[in-house]
Amino acid sequence: MIQTGERFPKSARLRKRRQFLSVQRSRYRIVTQHFIVYARRARPSALQIGITVSRKVGKAHVRNRVKRLVRESFRRNQDRLPAGMQVVFVARHGRGEATLEQVTDQLTSSIMKLRKRLEHQPRSGRGKSC
C-alpha cells in the first residue's frame, strides 16, 4: 500500500511544454550514464520533475519502462530530496536497460549536485518569479 507521503501528485509534475523548455534553457545541467538532468529554481516549497524519453531510446515499452523507473525512484525518495527546484530528466539514447537502483542513485546524486550549484547562483531581479 502506498503511504500518503509517497504519492506522486500532479503538483510534483511538470506538465506543460513551456515548463519543460524553461527548465531546459537554464544553464544548470548534469550528464549521467542514463540521463541528462536539467534544473532551475522554483517556489521554495516545490520540487517538480519532468521526464522526456525520445524514440531514440527504444520502442514504446522501453520508453514507458524508463519513465516508470524515474517516477518510482522520485516517489520513493521525494522526502529526502531538497525542495525549491524544477528538474527535467532526459533519457539518453539507448539507455533503456537501467535498473531501479541505478536510476535512484543517479536521480538523488544529480538533484543534490544541481541543488548545490543553484544555491550559489545569485537571484536575478528581473522578470517573472519562479
Residue ranges and CATH numbers for the domains of the chain are 11-119 (3.30.230.10)
Q: What is the pLDDT of residue 16?
A: 95
- 61-77 pLDDT, tens digit per residue, is 999 999 999 999 999 98
Is residue 104 scored above 50 in pLDDT? yes
78 — pLDDT class (breaks 50, 70, 90): confident
Does this model's pTM top 0.95?
Answer: no
Confidence band, pLDDT 50/70/90 cuts, at residue 23: very high
- Count of beta carbons in the 10 Å neighbourhood of residue 88: 24
Between 104 and 96, the more confident residue is 104
Buried b / exposed e along 29-66 (16+ C-beta atoms within 10 A): bbebebbbbbbbbbeeeebbbbbbbeeebbeeebbebb
Determine the angle formed by the axes of helices 60-77 and 100-119, rounding to 10 degrees: 60
Looking at per-residue pLDDT, the higher value among 43 and 96 belongs to 43
